[in-house]
Amino acid sequence: MKDAADQLDQLLTVGAMPTARPKLALRGVSRHFGAVQALAKVDLGIAEGEFVTLIGPSGCGKSTLFNIVAGLLEPDAGGEVLLDGVATSLLGKVAFMPQRDLLLPWRNVLDNAILAAEVEGRPKREARETARAMAADFGLKGFESHYPQQLSGGMRQRVALMRTFMFDRDLMLLDEPFGALDALTRAMMQRWLLDIWSRYRRTILFITHDIDEAIFLGDRVVVMSARPGSIKLERRIELPRPRDPALLTTPAFNAIKRELLDAVEEESLKTFAAGAA
């Protein structure tokens, strides 16, 4: 009888903690380019529905890591990338948003948003209907027929994000999506992204240069080391959600920032010294 209760308990525990099997798991992922080692044994897990932000000094192999998770690059032999516990080719399984919006100038807002869906073979009309319904959420209502050239930087970025969301995958990879925006637009986009995320509830891996952004957005911040890149530090951010800009000036926020800054600066100095040598 006791055994059965134990078993039941275990089952319940598993059921209550979906994080036991991560959405995405990297195990000992390394990558060389010729003689240069970009990544060294990266281990990283991301739970279902988690928002993980990744920071690191420039040239730490962030983009290499990113391209591996997007399925555009293969890791060196020995490393594993598991999606839902299965090692498969990730190409077409991850919704990926690069730094630049990469909108096609000959497609209007709707048609840019449905690009991924179209590639998947969804009928254009149906995809357009979905996009039209989503446009309001992405602050693009009334701009459906505009061309990218006619939009502001923030709006273009929202079109690119909508395209990423329409590529209906559980895992989203965002590579400094707000890097090119001015500070005010960027702050607004961050809050807006959190809002969208809480509504659509996807697992997000978000790369950034900006420590404030990393803390403000993430459930967890991952700091990468200087090249060859590996995980230097993982810091859970237990700040309450929904988060608002006032958070940025609280002592709790600053304490976390101090801690992360130290780690990032140490790594940046290594890169700098290596560059000077």
Partner 1 sequence: MALLRLAVPLLLLAALWEGAVALLHISPFYLPPLRQVLGSIYAFGPAYAQAFLVTLGEATVGFVAGALVGVVSAAAFHHARWLRDMLFPLFIASQTVPVIAFGAIVVLWFGNTLLAKAAIAFYLTFFPVTVNALAGVEAVDPRQVALLRSFGASRRDIWWKLLLPSALPRIFTALRLSAGLALAGAIVGEWFGASIGVGAMLLAALFNEQVVAMWAAILAAAAVGGTIFGVVALVEARLVFWRDEL
Shortest distance, position 152 Cβ to partner 1, whole Å:
15
Nearest to 134 by CA among 100, 168, 106: 168
Token pair 């709790």: residue: 252
- Residues 214-273 binding partner 1 (CB under 8 A) are none
> Of 11, 14, 119, 252, which one interacts with partner 1 (CB under 8 A)?
119
163 to 46, 65, 147, 223, 270: CA distances (angstroms): 23, 22, 14, 28, 38
Hey, is 174 helix, strand or coil? strand
Per CB under 8 A, 98 contacts partner 1: yes
Least distance from partner 1 to the Cβ atom of residue 120, Å:
7
Secondary structure class of 58 (helix, strand, coil):
coil
Residue 86 near partner 1 by CB under 8 A? no
CB of 146 to partner 1, least distance (A): 11
Q: Which is nearer to partner 1, 54 or 223 (CB)?
A: 54
Among 30, 67, 190, 208, binds partner 1 (CB under 8 A): 67
DSSP assignment of 74-127: PPPTT-EEEETTB----TTTSEEE-SS----TTS-HHHHHTHHHHHTT--HHHH
Binds partner 1 (CB under 8 A): choice among 167, 178, 197, 253:
167
Q: Which of 34, 105, 251, 275 binds partner 1 (CB under 8 A)?
A: 105
If you search the block for the tokens 């959405």, which residue do you land on?
23
Token reading at 14: 């598993």
Cβ count near 156 (within 10 Å) = 21
Kindly indicate which of the ranges 27-35, 80-88, 98-106, 212-220 contains the residues binding partner 1, using the contact rule CB under 8 A: 98-106
Quick check: 91 binds partner 1 (CB under 8 A)?
yes
Does the footprint of partner 1 cover residue 106 (CB under 8 A)?
A: yes
| Per CB under 8 A, 72 contacts partner 1 | yes
Tell me the longest C-alpha to C-alpha distance in the chain. 70
Q: Is 224 helix (H, G, I), strand (E, B) or coil?
A: strand
Q: Select the residue interacting with partner 1 from 104, 252, 255, 274 (CB under 8 A).
A: 104
For residues 228 and 239, give the distance between their C-alpha atoms in angstroms, rounded to a whole number: 31
Can you give the binding site for partner 1, defined by CB under 8 A?
Answer: 67, 70-72, 91-92, 94-96, 98-100, 102, 104-106, 115-116, 118-120, 147, 149, 167
